[in-house]
């Protein structure tokens, strides 16, 4: 079957290119709960900032394990993920991160939680607007 090889090769090339668009290829993904402090496009900041709970399985670039609860910005590659999300909302979010060939982090998904959900956070400081 001399014609089977070119057909198989073409099929492999098509399959290899599916999904090669904007997928950042995160090495690690993390799920955490948080309170939303800021959304892109606000007067205070242009970033999505959350105060998240401790992430015990977080792996840093130097290999240390764990991340304390803290406020941090998370890039949002797809702003439609934030539809229906407001400052002060309690959320569960999934973000991804990779370190090579260059550092890349981004929000993968977000789910609004009930406002009576208890989060394990220290003091949360909400951003304030400047006159």
Domain ranges of the chain: 24-112
Spatial CB neighbours of 14, under 8 Å, sequence gap ≥ 6: none
Average pLDDT, rounded, for the chain: 81
Say how many Å lie between the first and final Cα of the chain, rounded.
Answer: 76
Nearest-angstrom CA–CA distance, 40 and 106: 14
pLDDT at 121: 93
CATH number 3.30.9.10 given to 24-112: no
- In order of 1, 2, 3, 7, 20, the CA distances from 10 in angstroms are 16, 14, 11, 5, 16
CB neighbour burial string for 74-107, b if at least 16 within 10 angstroms, e if fewer: bebeeeebbeebeeebbbbbebbbeeeeeebbbb
Higher pLDDT, 128 or 52: 52
pLDDT of residue 24: 66
Per the CB < 8 A criterion, the answer to whether 72 and 49 are in contact is: yes
| 91 bridge partner residues | 34, 112
pLDDT given at position 25: 87
What's the pLDDT tens digit per position in 21-56? 345 689 999 999 999 999 998 766 678 999 999 999
Enter the pTM of the model. 0.74
């Amino acid at each position: 079957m001399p014609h089977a090889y070119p057909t198989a090769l073409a099929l492999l090339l098509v399959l290899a290119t599916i999904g090669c668009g904007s997928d950042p290829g995160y090495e690690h993904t993390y799920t955490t709960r948080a309170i939303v402090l800021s959304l892109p496009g606000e007067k205070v900041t242009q970033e999505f900032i959350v105060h998240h709970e401790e992430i015990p399985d977080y792996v840093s670039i130097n290999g240390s394990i764990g991340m304390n609860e803290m406020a941090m910005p998370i890039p949002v590659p797809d702003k439609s993920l934030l539809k229906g999300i407001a400052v002060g909302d309690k959320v569960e979010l999934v973000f991804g991160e990779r370190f090579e060939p260059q550092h890349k982090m981004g929000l993968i998904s977000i789910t609004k939680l009930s406002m009576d959900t208890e989060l394990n956070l220290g003091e949360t400081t909400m951003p304030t607007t400047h006159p």
